[in-house]
A and B are shown apart, each in its own frame.
Chain A
Amino acid sequence: MKRPLKQKELELLSAYLDNQLIGKEKTRVETKIQSDKVWEIAFDNLQLTRKVLQRAPQIKIPHNFTLRPEMIKAQRRSFNSYPTMRLISSIASILFALVFVGDFVNKGVVPFSEASDQVSLSSNNFIDGTVGEPLAAVMADADSIDAPQEEMAPAPQADFSADDSLGGDQDQVASQDSNEEAEASSGAQNLQEDESTPSARITITAVPTMAVKDAPVEDTEVGSSDNKVETENENQKDVDEQAEINLGNEPEKENLEIKEPANRIVNLTKWVLGIIAISTGVQSIRKRRI
């Protein structure tokens, strides 16, 4: 049994048949064909195969393929679609990337929906009395929400500081107030810390004055005018606390309800842009190819 030629040898033989070899390679193949029977037969067979293929009948064309102007008109329309598709694809890709990155960055800092969830959770905890360590440093931030509430009547807790000041001077009252502020670390402060988040502030501004109206007024008359100022400040904080307690979760739920569709729109936009980018990109590639 004669050994068949290797692929490389067949390639050399094929190239030699088409006069594609020069120099040493050509001489080497010629020598092989003359001296090696396997090479000789392989060359004859290859030559015959090529001859058969060259004799393949040419098929008559069924009609002329000359173009008519109406054929070109139809094509010109689709020709112009390529740059348009490319432009749409590019814009959609950029927008998709921006939305995607923007969404990713937002989630990295404070997730949109999670922020609302955290606020409602902390409010619930406060109501349940299960609030953990307060963030006292954020306490001052609560002052910023006092402005709309300054016209309100003093809250019931106002009598707490006023009663303390009955037996002492103004300094005592002030110092006691400050101590109380420091001590009141578990309840009201927690609430006000939570108020530092934007969604919590929205909740505070929506505080109904019902709780304030319910507060007893007679105790605010006790003490001097300076004490009144102090107690008013105290009262403002207490009003905030009370208002937050009375509010419960309803406004936050409303916020969530508002934000959920917004999130859905963002997600939908992402998908739409992604699909447009991919589909137009594929169309562009197909159009580009001859």
Chain B
Amino acid sequence: MDEAEMVKYAKKGDLDAFNRLVLAYQDIAFNVAYRLMGDPAMAEDITQDAFISAYRKLNSFKGGSFKAWLMRIVTNAGYDELRKIKRRPTIALEPMTNEEEEIESPVWLTDPGESPEYAIVREELNSAIQNCLDELDYEFKAIVILVDVQGMNYSEAAQAVSKPLGTVKSRLARARNKMQDCLRGFGELLPSSFRLESEGLK
């Protein structure tokens, strides 16, 4: 059964068909939400709500890229949360222990198969990227996440953020420029595989 058929059955109320779509897109949906929010718990809530919302609004999907349509729901949910956060006190991005100390390597980032060295590299890169993403305005952030982090094309990204292609190009260029400036500050912390190349950033 291909994607179009799954959507068709899901529109008729077939929950199993919809859940197949969920399984296909839950990784990208969760990662987009995580990069937007910088917090796994919030990303979890946003992702779950987005899938429920998607099922509810499935009849409004008139074809095209289902992935882009789904990412639109995720980013809109993320925007709403980010707006709320602006009105509330900031929340620590790093998880805390019972003694209120930061956990430097959260459980959700660890991979049982990877070496400790690689885990550290991975964490440093992740931390640097997330810190720089968090400095961006959320509309710029969303486009960088969709295009550069998640590898979506311009057209899909434009559909996901409900903006014209020109706006996506312009915002992406600005966001990349800001990310470049920010990542310079993390030159020493970037993984060795990037270190030599990162010299070019200076």
A-to-B contact residues, CB < 8 Å: 7, 10-11, 13-15, 18, 20, 41, 44-46, 48-67, 69, 71-72, 75-76, 79, 289-290
B149 & A56 in contact (Cβ 8 Å cutoff): yes
Instruction: Give Cα A67–Cα B43 distance, bound, in whole angstroms.
Output: 17
Task: Name the interface residues of B130-164: CB closer than 8 Å to any CB of A.
Answer: 144, 147-149, 151, 154
Residues on B with beta carbons closer than 8 Å to the beta carbon of A290: 53, 57, 60, 72-73, 76
Instruction: Give Cα A61–Cα B154 distance, bound, in whole angstroms.
Output: 26
A72 & B15 in contact (Cβ 8 Å cutoff): yes
Identify which of A11, A55, A71 contacts B173 (C-beta below 8 A): A11
B-to-A contact residues, CB < 8 Å: 15, 18-19, 22-23, 26-27, 29-31, 34-35, 40, 43-44, 47-48, 51-53, 55-57, 60, 72-73, 76, 108-109, 111, 122, 125-126, 128-129, 144, 147-149, 151, 154, 169-170, 172-174, 176-177, 179-180, 183, 190, 194, 197-198, 200-201
- Chain A interface main SS type: helix
A75 & B52 in contact (Cβ 8 Å cutoff): yes
Residues on A with beta carbons closer than 8 Å to the beta carbon of B173: 7, 10-11, 13-15
- Chain B interface main SS type: helix
Residues on B with beta carbons closer than 8 Å to the beta carbon of A66: 19, 22-23
Tell me which of A10, A14, A18, A65 has the highest count of chain B C-beta atoms within 10 A of its own C-beta.
A65
Instruction: Give Cα A62–Cα B34 distance, bound, in whole angstroms.
Output: 12
Instruction: Give Cα A63–Cα B125 distance, bound, in whole angstroms.
Output: 24
Chain A residue at minimum C-beta to C-beta distance from B29: A65
